[in-house]
A and B are shown apart, each in its own frame.
Chain A
Amino acid sequence: MEVISAHTIAPHLVNPLFTKEVMEMRGGEKILDCIQCGVCSGSCPARFAMDYTPMQIIRMVQLGLKETALASSTIWICASCYACTTRCPRDINITVLMSSLKNLALREGISTKIETKPKFHRSFAEVVRKYGRIHEPELITKLMKKTDPEALFHNAALGLRLWRKGKIRLLPSKIKQRNHLLAIFEKASKEEI
Chain B
Amino acid sequence: MSEEPLIGVYICHCGGNISDTVNVEMVKEAASLFRGVKVAQTYEYLCSNPGQDMIKKGIREHRLNRVVVASCSPRMHLDTFRQAVKSAGLNPYLLDMVNIREHCSWVHDEKESATAKAIALIRGAVERARYLEPLEPKSIPVEKKILVIGGGVAGIYASIELADKGYQVYLIEKRPSIGGHMAQLSKTFPTFDCSACILTPKMVYASQNPNIKIVTNAEPLNIRGSPGNYKVTVKIRPRFVDEDKCTACSECTKCCPVKKPSEFEENLIEEKAIYIPFQQAVPNAYVIDKDYCLYFTKGVCRLCERFCKGKAIIFDQKEENMELNVGAIIVCTGYEQLNLKKFGQYSFGLHPDIVSNLQFERLMLQSVHRPSNGKTPRKVAFILCVGSRSNSSNGMEYCCKIGCMNAIKQALLLEKAVPDAEPWIFYTDIRAHGKGYEEFYASARNHGVKFVRGRAAEVMPNGDEVLVKAEDTLFGMQIEEAFDLVVLSPALIPNQGTLELAEMLGIDLGSDGFFLERHHKLRGVETKREGIFIAGCAQGPKDVRETTMESMATASKVATFIGKGEISVSPEVAYVTSEKCNACGICIDYCPTKAIEEAQNEVAINSISCIGCGICVPICPREAIDLNHCTDSQLIAQIRGVCEGETTSPKIIAFLERTTAYGSADLGGQNRRSYPANIRIIGVPTTGRLGIKHLLHAFAAGADGIIFIEGDDSAFSEEQLRNHVIELKKRLHTFNIESLRLVSTTTTLPQYEKMLDLFETFTERISRIGSLPKERRDEIRGKLGGL
A56 at interface by CB-CB < 8 Å? yes
A186 proximal to B (CB < 8 A): no
4 further contact pairs, Cβ within 8 A, besides A39-B455, A40-B471: A38-B457, A42-B457, A87-B457, A90-B391
A17 contacts B by Cβ under 8 Å = no
Chain B positions within 8 Å of A87 at CB level: 345, 457
Q: How far is the CB of B460 from the nearest CB of chain A, in Å?
A: 12
Question: In the complex where A35-B428, A53-B476 touch, is A42 in contact with B454 (Cβ < 8 A)?
Answer: yes
Q: Are B458 and A43 in contact (CB under 8 A)?
A: yes
Q: Is the CB of B391 within 8 A of A37?
A: no
0 or 1 for each of A83-120: is its CB under 8 Å from B? (1 = yes): 10001111100000000000000000000000000000
Interface membership of B513, Cβ < 8 A:
no
Bound Cα distance A83, B472 (Å): 17
**Residues on the A chain within 8 Å of B767, using CB:** none
* Bound-complex Cα distance A39 to B391 (A): 14
Distance between Cα atoms of A41 and B478 in the complex (Å): 7
Q: Does A130 contact B (CB under 8 A)?
A: no
Contacts A37-B385, A37-B428, A42-B455 given; does A89 touch B470 at CB 8 Å = no
Verify if B389 is at the interface (C-beta below 8 Å from A). Answer: yes
Which residues 382-426 in B have Cβ within 8 Å of A in the complex? 385, 387, 389-393, 395
Chain B proximity of A41: nearest CB distance (Å)? 4
Return chain A residues, CB-CB under 8 Å to B454. 37-39, 41-42
B473 touches A55 (CB 8 A): yes
* A165 and B345 alpha carbons, distance in the complex (Å): 41
B390 touches A42 (CB 8 A): no
Give, as a whole number of angstroms, the nearest-CB distance from B491 to chain A: 10
Distance (Å) between the CB of B722 and the closest chain A CB? Answer: 26
Cross-chain contact A42 with B385 (CB below 8 angstroms): no
Which of chain A's residues 30-88 have a Cβ closer than 8 Å to chain B? 30, 33, 35-44, 47-48, 53, 55-56, 83, 87-88
Contact A89 B457 (CB under 8 A): no
B456 CB contacts on chain A under 8 angstroms: 39, 42
> In the complex, how many angstroms separate the beta carbon of A37 from the nearest chain B beta carbon?
4
> Which 5 residue pairs are nearest across A and B when measured between Cβ atoms?
A42-B457, A38-B454, A42-B471, A89-B390, A41-B471
Tell me, in angstroms, the Cα distance from A91 to B397 when the chains sit together.
Answer: 11
Q: Residue B202 at the A interface, CB < 8 A?
A: no
Do A91 and B391 touch across chains, with their CB atoms under 8 A apart? Answer: yes
Contacting pair A89 B478 (CB below 8 A): no
Q: Does B453 count as interface, using CB distance less than 8 angstroms?
A: yes
Q: Which residues of A contact B392 (CB under 8 A)?
A: 88-91
- B455 and A89 contact, CB distance less than 8 A: yes
A36 CA to B476 CA, complexed, in Å: 12
- Give the residue name and chain of the A residue nearest to B479 (CB): A42
A53:B471 contact, CB within 8 angstroms: yes
Instruction: Indicate the member of A33, A37, A41, A55 with the most B CB atoms within 10 Å.
Output: A37
B259 cross-chain contacts in A, Cβ below 8 A: none
B470 touches A90 (CB 8 A): no
B450 at the A interface (CB under 8 A) = no
In the bound assembly, the distance between CA atoms of A30 and B345 in angstroms comes to 23
Name the CB-closest residue of A to B454: A38
A-B contact pairs, 15 of them (CB 8 A): A37-B385, A38-B471, A39-B456, A39-B457, A39-B471, A40-B471, A42-B470, A55-B473, A88-B392, A89-B387, A89-B390, A89-B392, A89-B455, A91-B390, A91-B392
**Assembled-state Cα–Cα distance A89/B473 (Å):** 16
In the complex, chain B residues 449-481 whose Cβ is within 8 Å of any chain A Cβ? 453-458, 469-473, 476, 478-479
Chain A residues lying within 8 Å of B458, measured Cβ to Cβ, are: 42-43
Could you say which residues of chain A place their CB within 8 Å of the CB of B472?
38
A89 touches B391 (CB 8 A): yes
Cα distance A105–B345 when bound, in Å? Answer: 32
Inter-chain CA distance A108–B343, complex, in Å, is 39
**Judging by beta carbons under 8 Å apart, are B471 and A35 in contact?**
no
Q: How far is the CB of A111 from chain B (nearest CB, A)?
A: 24
Closest approach, in angstroms, between the C-beta of B482 and any C-beta of chain A? Answer: 16
- Are A56 and B391 in touch, CB under 8 angstroms? no
Fill in one digit per residue for B56-75: 1 if any A CB lies within 8 Å of its CB, else 0: 00000000000000000000
Among A40, A56, A87, the most chain B Cβ lie within 10 Å of the Cβ of A87
Does the CB pair B478–A37 fall under 8 Å?
A: no
With A37-B454, A89-B455 known as contacts, the answer to whether A42 contacts B391 (CB < 8 A) is no
Binary CB contact string for chain B from 352 to 389 against chain A (1 if under 8 A, 0 otherwise): 00000000000000000000000000000000010101
Q: Given that A38-B471, A53-B476 are known contacts, is A43 also in contact with B389, CB under 8 Å in the complex? A: no
A141 to chain B, nearest CB (A): 38
* Residues from chain A with Cβ under 8 Å of B385 in the complex: 37, 89
Q: Which of A43, A48, A90 contacts B457 (CB 8 A)?
A: A43
Chain A residue numbers with a CB within 8 Å of B469 are 42-43
How near does chain A come to B206, taking the closest CB pair, in angstroms?
40
User: A38 contacts B391, CB within 8 Å?
Assistant: no
Known: A36-B473, A42-B456. A47 touches B478 (CB 8 A): yes
Q: Enumerate chain A residues within 8 angstroms of B473, measured Cβ to Cβ.
A: 36-38, 41, 55
Residues of B within 8 A of A38 (CB): 453-455, 457, 470-473
Chain B residues within 8 Å of A90, by CB: 390-392
Query: What sequence of 0s and 1s flags, for each residue 468-504 of chain B, a beta carbon within 8 Å of any chain A beta carbon?
Result: 0111110010110000000000000000000000000
